Amino acid sequence: MVCQARFLCLLVFYVAVTLFCSWFRQAPTNFIEPVNCPQNRFLGAPRLLTNGNVDSLTRTGRTKPALVAVAGSCALAAALIGPARRGYSFRTLRGNSRILCAASGSDVGVVLLSAGVGKRMGASIPKQYIKLLGLEIALHSLSTFLECDVAEIVIVCAEEWQHIFKDHLEKHGPPNCELKFTCGGKERQDSVKNGLDKITVPIVAIHDAARPLVTQAEFEKVVSDAREYGAALLAVPTKATIKQAMGADEAFVASTPTRKLLWEAHTPQVIRSELLRKGFEKAQQDGSEVTDDVSLIELLGEQVKLTEGEYTNIKVTTPEDIAVAETILKQRGFTPPE
């Protein structure tokens, strides 16, 4: 679309200038008058003298059509090139309606994981669809990414819950990016793979929908690191002392890792798409299972950047977390939807 816009505006501009130059060469000299003529309208333009030299002149009203043609073509060029340079393109949504998508030039896509069950919450519905101050947890997460410069968002969720997102967008208008849906898998790793299969841009950000408090500033920061290093994740230095157990079923201390070297992993985790695909291939070959996305990159022996985020980017897992999340939202001035 960008290339077509540039070609069209250049073609129009070329035709207009060509016609103007052709008309100008054929025009009689009595259409060009000296500057000091009383009927002059445009001061300071070049003047054609009888000896063939050029001096200051003005053009009379008969030059207006050509000048208007050139000005019009310049305006058209600005109208077409301007949006094209900013990465705008038109997308078709809901039949014949069209919107201007400001994020189509972005190199980042988002996989929003919203397929979990959330057994620890003890609720009758998946935790990500519980409301925080009147808005579903997953929609808080989605809203953050809709405000960011992303090209596409893939929502991974059960088909029966897609209406939550569709109804929200129906009420607030179409998004400024391409929105896709896919189903979750047996494990988190499988859900990420399903989402990644829908991504078409060079960089992918994977985010748990149950982290509704991530900020736009955090997202931009971790994306910047991923562009530089290939893979990055939001994380915070661990506050508590961590004890490693002797085994999964043995509640005895085996060791105490050095706290200053420990970080708590958050999302988004942002990775170059092709690098993540290689990570999945490696995991499949080795039969490896991981609980976060950058672990796949670690399997490849590649470095992963720790991007320091905010402690407020909590994962809502238990009923106590809901109270904490609502307190943070109130402090930020969030207004419940009507």
- Do residue 43 and residue 114 come from a single domain? no
Tokens 């919107």 belong to 99
Q: Sign (positive/negative) of CA torsion 88, 274, 287, 248? A: negative
Q: What is the pLDDT of residue 19?
A: 57
Residue 98, classed as helix, strand or coil, is strand
In whole angstroms, give the CA distance from residue 222 to residue 269: 8
More confidently predicted of 69 and 190: 190
Q: What pLDDT does residue 71 have? A: 52
Q: Which residue has the tokens 């001061």?
A: 43
Is 123 within a domain? yes
11-31 average pLDDT score? 53
Residue 169 pLDDT grade (very low, low, confident, very high; cuts 50, 70, 90): very high
The confidence score (pLDDT) of residue 9 equals 53
At 100 the pLDDT is: 31
Number of domain units in the chain: 2
Phi, psi of 252 (to 5 degrees): -130, 145
Q: Which amino acid is at 49?
A: L
Same domain (yes/no): 194, 254 = yes
pLDDT at 24: 47
Instruction: Output the pLDDT for position 116.
Output: 80
What mean pLDDT do residues 204-230 have? 98
Strands (E), 157-198: 178-182
Q: What share of the chain is helix, strand, coil (3-state, %, to 5)?
A: 40, 25, 35
Confidence of residue 94 (pLDDT cuts 50, 70, 90): very low
pLDDT band at 30 (very low <50, low <70, confident <90, very high): very low
At residue 174, the pLDDT reads 87
For 257-269, what is the mean pLDDT? 97
Who wins on pLDDT, 298 or 47?
Answer: 298
- On whether the CB atoms of residues 271 and 231 are closer than 8 A, the answer is yes
Domain assignment present for residue 13? The answer is: yes
Statement: residue 333 has pLDDT above 90: yes
What pLDDT does 22 receive?
Answer: 56
183 vs 166: CA distance, rounded Å: 15
| Residue 49 pLDDT exceeds 50 | no
Which pLDDT value is given to residue 255? 96
Q: Is the pLDDT of residue 4 over 60?
A: no
Question: Which domain range does residue 62 map to?
Answer: 2-85
Alpha carbon of 333 to those of 166, 235, 281, 330: distances in Å? Answer: 25, 24, 44, 5
Residue 167 sits in a domain whose CATH number is 3.90.550.10
Q: Helix or strand or coil: residue 198?
A: coil
The answer on pLDDT for 3 being more than 60 is: no
Single out the residue in 85, 119, 136 at which a domain terminates. Answer: 85
Between 82 and 212, name the one with better pLDDT.
212
Percent of the chain with pLDDT over 90: 62
Q: pLDDT at residue 251 above 60?
A: yes
Residues 125 and 274 in one domain: yes
pLDDT of residue 172: 85
Average pLDDT over residues 261-268: 98
pLDDT at residue 12, as a whole number: 56
CA angle 33, 35, 40 (to 5 degrees): 70
Rounded distance between C-alpha atoms, residue 117 and residue 1, angstroms: 41
Q: Identify whether 143 is part of a domain.
A: yes
Type of residue at 168: H
In this structure, is residue 47 part of a structural domain?
yes
191: in domain: yes
Q: pLDDT at position 295, please? A: 98
User: In Å, how far are 193, 235, 329 from 303, measured between CA atoms?
Assistant: 21, 15, 34
- pLDDT tens digits, residue range 273-291? 999 999 999 999 999 999 9
> Where is the domain boundary, 32, 59, 85?
85
User: Taking the CA of residue 49 as centre, how many other CA atoms within 13 Å lie in the half-sphere pointing to its CB?
Assistant: 6
25, 180, 197, 199 from 111: Cα distances, Å:
60, 9, 10, 8
Average per-residue pLDDT for the chain: 79
Lowest mean pLDDT of 6-10, 162-166, 242-246, 307-311, name the range: 6-10
